[in-house]
Structure 1
Amino acid sequence: MIERRGLGRPMAHLVLIVGLFIVAFPIYYTFVASTQSLTTILRPPLPLTPGDQIGANYGEALFGGIGRIGGVAVTTLLFNTLVMALGIALGKIFISILSAFAVVFFRFPLRMVFFWLIFVTLMLPVEVRILPTYKVMVDLGMIDTYAGLILPLIASATATLLFRQFFMTIPAELVEAARIDGAGPLRFLKDILLPLSKTNIAALFVILFIYGWTQYLWPLLVTNDNQMNTIVIALRKMVSFADADTPWHMVMVTSILAILPPVLVVVLMQRWFVRGLVESEK
């Protein structure tokens, strides 16, 4: 029950408005800076209203290329990052569903040993295994390739654990009924488990897409060619130690464009995302 009397409701709205302002103002300020010329940015104070360079700045970034990153256009950076984020998100979900399906619905020797080996990898982040992983990528010739960006990051113990916990809630009667109807393992997975798991898949997709989009360390190591850089790596390369040597208007444009795809994914999938996190009836 929500209390609607007294000052509770106005105060709650005030707190939300203040919180929204604190979160949104830096983004707005970045957008304003992205519409100004470099001279205006370097000569404070920066205006609080958009400037007249929005078309020139965004056009140069998207189609003209940025000098400090080898003349690569932001469209190329966005495409590279999108391929990496989608590959990581879809690969993690695909492998995790199959792993959890095998652990829950099949009986084979050392089944739980394999599950706990997967679970233990939660304690081994990318930073711990970075050198052997990089050596493998070099030996396989996957430096400066999409496969090199994606493959080392597509295994997920967390997603496997979440799918396993959900699959364990499937009634045994449903499994037995599917077996009596002649459904094989793959048909049971396709026609029963996947439809029941769609909210979980949607919630995990949002989380894993953002995880892939914001990766920094691994793309920094595995890409040497500017044409294969992700947008996060490009942003770092664009910033120089000297303010005058940094194209701040292009940095701000790139920052705004880097924010848009994750925001779009969250907005379009927010209903599925919330249902996947809070839904209790399966």
Structure 2
Amino acid sequence: MVENRRWLTVLAHAVLWLGVLIIVFPVFVTLMASTQSTQQIMVGAISLVPGDSVAHNYWTALTQGATGTSNNAAWKMMLNSAVVAMLIACGKIFLSLLAAYAIIFFALPLRMVWFWLIFLTLMLPVEVRILPTYKVISDLALLDTYTGLSLPLIASATGTLLFRQFFMTLPNELVEAAKIDGAGPFRFFKDVVIPLSKTNIAALFVIQFIYGWNQYLWPLLITTKGEMETIVIGIRKMMADNDSITDWGVVMATTMLAMIPPVLVVIFMQRWFVKGLVDNEK
């Protein structure tokens, strides 16, 4: 029996509100700074109320970018990030579905060995294999391309494990019924497995979209042209490394714009995301 103690409820809510404050306050300060002039920010006079430079900062960020080593417009860099994030998310889902489907529903020789080899790649993130990966992408002339930005990040042992665990819960009667109806492996995959996996697909899509959107090291390494910069790289390059003054108002506005797509993905897919992670009623 769980005791209903008022002080425990108050304490729990206090801890939650404290956590929210710690997370939200830096974002709030960034939002307020994005509405103020660079001069105010440089002298440390950031106000916690909106300033009068909101239109200038956001318009400059969207159309021109801040002065610095990168002056790309935010819309162009956000488009690059969106394309890369979509390619990574969709590619990971597609490959993970196929790999898990083959491991569970096909009597392949040494299939568990192949699964564990895939699983072991979790110990080899892109940072560990970055030099040989760069050499391969360079030899294939894929530098400064969407393919080069996304292809090395598509393979996903995490997604394969997620779908494998779900496919193991599917009853054998589904497979037998599909065989009786004359459905082949592809039709069973398309008409039965994928519709039943939609919540898992949604959950993995949210995770991988944010993962692709926030990529820094790999895009920094293989992009040499300004028009291929992603938003994360662009924000860093907007901060001047020399004696010039960083246009902090525009940088903060660009930072706020960069938060919008991932937040929208989480908001619109929240129900599917939570259901795909915690729902056991398959």
Q: Helix, strand or coil for the counterpart of 2:68? A: helix
**2:121 aligned residue:** 121
Contact 1:68–1:237, Cα closer than 8 Å, also in 2: yes
Q: Give the direction of change, closer, same or farther, for the CA distance of 1:41–1:206 in structure 2 (3 Å limit).
A: same
Q: What is the one-letter code of the residue matched to 1:182?
A: G
Q: Give the direction of change, closer, same or farther, for the CA distance of 1:241–1:115 in structure 2 (3 Å limit).
A: same
Q: Give the direction of change, closer, same or farther, for the CA distance of 1:3–1:255 in structure 2 (3 Å limit).
A: farther
Contact 2:70–2:238, Cα closer than 8 Å, also in 1: no
Contact 1:69–1:226, Cα closer than 8 Å, also in 2: no
Matches within 5 A, 1:1-282: 4-241=4-241, 245-282=245-282
Identity of aligned residues (%): 60
Q: CA deviation at 1:244?
A: 5.6
Q: What is the one-letter code of the residue matched to 1:170?
A: L
Q: What is the one-letter code of the residue matched to 1:106?
A: F
Q: How many residues are matched?
A: 282
Q: CA deviation at 1:162?
A: 1.2
Q: CA deviation at 1:3?
A: 5.3
Calculate the TM-score normalised by the size of structure 1: 0.95
Contact 2:32–2:49, Cα closer than 8 Å, also in 1: yes
Calculate the TM-score normalised by the size of structure 2: 0.95
Structure 2 segments unaligned to the other structure (5+ residues)? none
Contact 1:3–1:9, Cα closer than 8 Å, also in 2: no
Q: Give the direction of change, closer, same or farther, for the CA distance of 1:70–1:44 in structure 2 (3 Å limit).
A: closer
Deviations, residues 200-226 of structure 1 (Å, cap 9, x unaligned)? 111111111111111111001110111
Q: CA deviation at 1:134?
A: 0.5
Contact 1:89–1:205, Cα closer than 8 Å, also in 2: yes
Q: What is the one-letter code of the residue matched to 2:31?
A: F
Q: What is the one-letter code of the residue matched to 2:51?
A: G
Distance between the aligned counterparts of 2:114 and 2:198, measured in 1?
Answer: 26
Distance between the aligned counterparts of 1:58 and 1:232, measured in 2?
Answer: 17
Higher mean C-alpha displacement, 89-98 vs 162-171: 162-171
Q: CA deviation at 1:4?
A: 4.6
Deviations, residues 115-173 of structure 1 (Å, cap 9, x unaligned)? 22211211111011111110111111110000000101000011111111111111111
Distance between the aligned counterparts of 2:53 and 2:198, measured in 1?
Answer: 44
Q: Helix, strand or coil for the counterpart of 1:67? A: coil
Distance between the aligned counterparts of 1:80 and 1:155, measured in 2?
Answer: 20
Distance between the aligned counterparts of 1:69 and 1:62, measured in 2?
Answer: 17
Higher mean C-alpha displacement, 40-49 vs 152-161: 40-49
Q: Give the direction of change, closer, same or farther, for the CA distance of 1:107–1:25 in structure 2 (3 Å limit).
A: same
Contact 2:91–2:154, Cα closer than 8 Å, also in 1: yes
